[in-house]
Amino acid sequence: MSELVTYLVLPLARRDDGVIVEDNQGAVECASAEAAVRLAEAMAHTPGYVAAMAFARTGRSAPGQYGPAAVVKSAAFWCPERQAWVN
């Protein structure tokens, strides 16, 4: 089997207690690294999310045979309390 690269975006949300967690729907698969970066930036500015991370995984197409994830881009969000962009 050949190596396969999968690009994903993981949106992050803030729970009621303030802890930042991954979205309940999980990661979203994208067609390319560029598409993953664009989606991460858009999701980081979507109401309900506070940030998003685009990452890639390389491995074999059989389930569970992927190596560690490599971050492509972490999208920042505007923090009203700090009046600054947070990465």
SS (H, E, C) the chain: CCEEEEEEEEEEEECCCCCEEECCCCCEEECCHHHHHHHHHHHHCCCCCCEEEEEEEEEECCCCCECCCEEEEEECEEECCCCEEEC
Q: Is the C-alpha dihedral spanning 55, 58, 60, 61 positive or negative? A: positive
pLDDT tens-digit series, residues 17-70: 988 899 888 889 999 999 998 998 888 888 888 888 888 888 876 666 777 777
- Among residues 65, 60, 73, which one has the least CA distance to residue 33? 73
pTM, rounded to two decimals: 0.74
Q: Predicted confidence band at 75 (pLDDT cuts at 50, 70, 90)? A: low
Q: What is the pLDDT of residue 87?
A: 59
Distance of CA 79 to the CA centre of its chain: 18
